[in-house]
Structure 1
Amino acid sequence: MVFKSNIRVLFLTFLFLTSCSTDEEEVIKDTLANMLAGKETVLGNVIACAASNEDPSVVSIFLYPRNGATNIGFYQTESTVVDEADFSSYTKGEGELLDVFNGYLLKYEVSPTEEKWVIVTFEEEGKVHLSNPIRLKQNTKPTEYLPQNVTIDQNGTMPIFSWQDGAFDDSAIYFQVVSDENDNLLSGTYTLDKMFQYYQLDNVVLNITTEAPPPLALNDPYKFSLLAVSEDNWVNLFSEVGFMVE
């Protein structure tokens, strides 16, 4: 009887250790560091940022998927108390990709309880491309929604958009989108200035518009969207304003 009891104990111990080993292997397999092992990697080559929604418990992770991008995903840390450059601290996140501007941009919507770091990835031409780390701040600096901070100077078919920061003054760059009534993106540009004129590129530092946008038509409805983005890729301010060219 003692012999059988010992066999049972050894068998249960074996099952426990096997289970622990399997769980550990799953965690290791899902880290960003492990996913990148042996692959050619391009750092900082995915345009991405994140914003809390008007319901601050929901965070949108935005990205620009270049033509040919595949295997889009994101990885996240447990908290912000990590080295954001240590890829072994990131594990694969789960979420459904949703269209923004009819698929010109994409987003994940997640509900993290903790602030954390996020990196967006995709594959392109046999290489894995990574965004810069995105610092989620949904608890300490929820995104402000202030359409009143945008002013539009009706300058014929080339309106001038200008804006002011909200409560947070650490925005490093500004992303502007002009879209039509069907939510199709006409132009997507980044400036360091708090001003953009459609469609003048004199002060544009990054342009994701792949084709020359059409002239704006008189009396047609359009929309101007603005994201004020901090250096660590968190959206401090989101403004959206409808307008017509007169």
Structure 2
Amino acid sequence: MTAPAKITSGPRHVACIMDGNGRWAQARGKPRLFGHHAGAQRVKEVVRACPSLGVKYLTIFAFSTENWKRTQAEVAGLMKLFRRYIQAEARELLAEGVRVRFIGDRVQLDPKLVKLMDELELLTSVNDRIHVTVALNYGGRDEIGRATKRLALEVSAGRLDAADVDETTLARFLDTHVLPDPDLVIRTSGEARISNFLLWQSAYAEYEFIDTLWPDFNAACFADAVRRFAARERRFGAVPA
């Protein structure tokens, strides 16, 4: 299907690189994990803001494949935070119509955390009000590498003809194969890079690089970014009429 030359409506799918938690905490004389806990509260606020803004899909970058390079204490604290968040919020997410999915490589993750992730996905699978995808131990290059490996195995097994492989085929093997591509990617904290996030999916996404640190990025900030998106002209490589 040919993409429209111009879209003036709001984004259906917003992805967020939630940057700045550690710096926010350090600026207040607190340990970095204090900032991550504050950032988790902002996630709840942004999720709740989505329906009124017409955002059906929200993807958040929680932990990258590169974040293992952080101190052992910070990584352990983050993993504990993920477990506590899932346990504390599961019923509320279900009640609010949120469907939760996780993307990323689960092999390195603690089995207890993976079990909680699986249970939350199953528990909320009946929901359709808003779809929240959490990128956990996720990297765009890693995802493409894993997808390519699965595709190659299908070709090797004779279930797929190599001559039929194209970009649509590869997309079916990505972690996000059940999701639409993001329309808008927001990165907080003033950094202007994409940090290996949704490399394939965001080929035609609009970007917002925002100076605000994630723990200060509230529902009003999110709404402002969504409204700015609506004023943009998206041509997808076409020439405006």
Same fold judged by TM-score > 0.5?
Answer: no
TM-score by length of 2: 0.25
Structure with the higher fraction of residues in strand conformation: 1
Structure with the higher fraction of residues in helix conformation: 2
TM-score by length of 1: 0.25
